[in-house]
């Protein structure tokens, strides 16, 4: 009988779930308040960071540190800043060896290794011809100009002297550009800085290069791959934790002329845009490798590119070819 009684204390059974809901709302509110994000335009792209920490002051400092690291590396590696170490190399390294910073030497060494690994598809000397393209002004070199400079594209021209930490360009027309690796390097440095501050959950993204620290508190992060022909659409969503993903696409910097797309990823063999695919995403532990490998696989195309990724134990890739068909590396198939 007491089931039907209106005065029965079992009316409380309604109160408990409501109370639980209230408690849940309060906790999720405080958890939310412990997340913070910031974005800034640095390195010619949008840098965005999200961090989780209980301490408000530390969270603020962590976000500032991300932007400081990005700007520091920009000042070192930008081809658009006259005082950058990269600009200095391009002005003088074909005349005599130039002593460089530890970081520059490290990134140049890594670039050389990646050139070897990708059989020259990743090659920072692409810039020997690449500097003649201006995607904003819709400017590109004549075939004759490309022809006369093509021999300067060869990563072997960049001579690194380990003992003296110097760089020499063994060809008078060599220019280098770190646009295919510097953002990945900067993302890794930013993540390192966050880890050193005791941050356990964070996202740092610089254009197409994203790295995640931990998860999103019990849920994975979800990183999108944009549809190369529709800004407003995501082609694929990838759940990730404690990992990184870089995307290279023919839509980041380009112009069109007579229906042909001239974009910023160049084949070192031809000095011209590569047309096998529209987009490549590489997933791996660190952004610096993902960044360079996504550029390389873009140049290599589906078969050769996925062949390379499948031979590397820690990496996966997602490729959209020039017919908009999707291709996946072995670890992602099914
Ligand atoms: P983004 O995130 O800017 O799209 P990507 O990782 O796709 O960067 O790399 C594209 C950039 O890499 C170009 O803007 C250029 O600076 C550089 N790059 C282009 N072709 C090559 C190449 N074959 N090897 C190395 N770097 C390249
Ligand atoms: Mg890249």
The 3-state secondary structure of 254-287, one letter per residue = EEEECCEEEECCEECCCCEECCCEEEEEEEECCH
Nearest of 59, 131, 55 to residue 90 by alpha carbon:
131
What pLDDT does 333 receive? 86
For ligand 1, mutation pick of 183, 186, 295 (most atoms within 8 Å of CB): 295
Distance CA 26, CA 232 (A): 34
CA of 280 to the centre of ligand 2 (A): 9
Ligand 1 proximity of 180 Cβ (cutoff 6 Å): yes
Centre of ligand 1 to C-alpha 179, Å, is 5
Q: What is the pLDDT of residue 157?
A: 98
Ligand 1 contact, 122 CB (< 6 A): yes
Residues forming a β-bridge with 159: 168
160: three-class secondary structure by DSSP: strand
* C-alpha 249 – ligand 2 centre gap (Å): 9
User: How far apart are alpha carbons 143 and 66 in whole angstroms?
Assistant: 42
Which of the ligands is closest to the CA of residue 178? 1
Task: Please give the pLDDT value at position 86.
Answer: 98
75: left (phi over 0), alpha (psi -120 to 50) or beta: alpha
| pLDDT tens, residue by residue, 144-167 | 999 999 999 999 999 999 999 999
Rounded distance, CA 36 to CA 50, Å? 6
Q: Which ligand neighbours the alpha carbon of 45 most closely?
A: 1
User: Please, are residues 133 and 140 in contact by the beta-carbon 8 Å criterion?
Assistant: yes
Are the C-beta atoms of residues 240 and 220 closer than 8 Å to each other?
Answer: yes
Tell whether ligand 1 has an atom less than 6 A from the beta carbon of residue 228.
no
Q: Best of 108, 135, 265, 276 to mutate for ligand 1, by most ligand atoms within 8 A of CB?
A: 265
195's enclosing H/E stretch is helix 182-196
Ligand 1 pocket residue status of 271, Cβ below 6 Å: no
The protein residue with its alpha carbon nearest to ligand 1, atom 26, reads 180
**Residue ranges of the chain with pLDDT lower than 50?**
1-10
Handedness of CA 192, 194, 200, 204 (dihedral sign): negative
| Cα(114)–Cα(125) distance, integer angstroms | 13
Q: What is the dihedral of CA 185, 291, 142, 321, to 10 degrees?
A: -170
Tell me the sheet residues that pair with 236: 225
Q: How far is residue 203's CA from residue 221's CA, in Å, rounded to a whole number? A: 8
């Amino acid at each position: 009988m007491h089931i039907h009684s209106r005065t029965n204390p079992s009316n409380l059974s309604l109160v408990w779930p409501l109370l639980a809901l209230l408690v849940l709302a309060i906790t999720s509110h405080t958890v939310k308040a412990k997340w913070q994000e910031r974005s800034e335009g640095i390195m010619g792209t949008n840098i965005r960071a999200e961090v989780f920490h209980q301490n408000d002051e530390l969270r603020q400092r962590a976000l500032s540190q991300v932007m400081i690291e990005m700007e520091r590396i920009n000042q070192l590696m930008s081809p658009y800043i006259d005082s950058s170490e990269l600009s200095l190399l391009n002005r003088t390294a074909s005349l005599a060896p130039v002593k460089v910073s530890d970081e520059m030497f490290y990134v140049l060494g890594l670039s050389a290794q990646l050139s070897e690994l990708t059989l020259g598809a990743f090659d920072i000397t692409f810039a020997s011809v690449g500097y003649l393209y201006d995607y904003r002004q819709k400017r590109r070199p004549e075939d004759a100009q490309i022809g006369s400079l093509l021999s300067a594209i060869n990563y072997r021209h960049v001579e690194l002297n380990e003992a003296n930490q110097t760089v020499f360009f063994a060809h008078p027309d060599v220019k280098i550009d770190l646009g295919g690796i510097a953002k990945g390097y900067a993302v890794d440095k930013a993540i390192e800085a966050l880890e050193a501050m005791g941050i356990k959950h964070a996202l740092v993204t610089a254009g197409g290069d994203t790295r995640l620290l931990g998860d999103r508190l019990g849920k994975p992060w979800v990183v999108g791959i944009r549809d190369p022909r529709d800004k407003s659409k995501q082609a694929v969503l990838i759940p990730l934790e404690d990992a990184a993903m870089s995307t290279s696409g023919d839509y980041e910097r380009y112009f069109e002329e007579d229906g042909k797309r001239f974009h910023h990823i160049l084949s070192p063999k031809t000095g011209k845009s590569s047309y096998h695919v529209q987009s490549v995403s590489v997933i791996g532990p660190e952004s610096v490798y993902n960044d360079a490998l996504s550029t390389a696989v873009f140049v290599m195309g589906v078969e050769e590119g996925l062949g390379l990724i499948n031979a590397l134990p820690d990496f996966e890739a997602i490729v959209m070819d020039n017919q908009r068909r999707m291709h996946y590396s072995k670890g992602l198939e099914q």
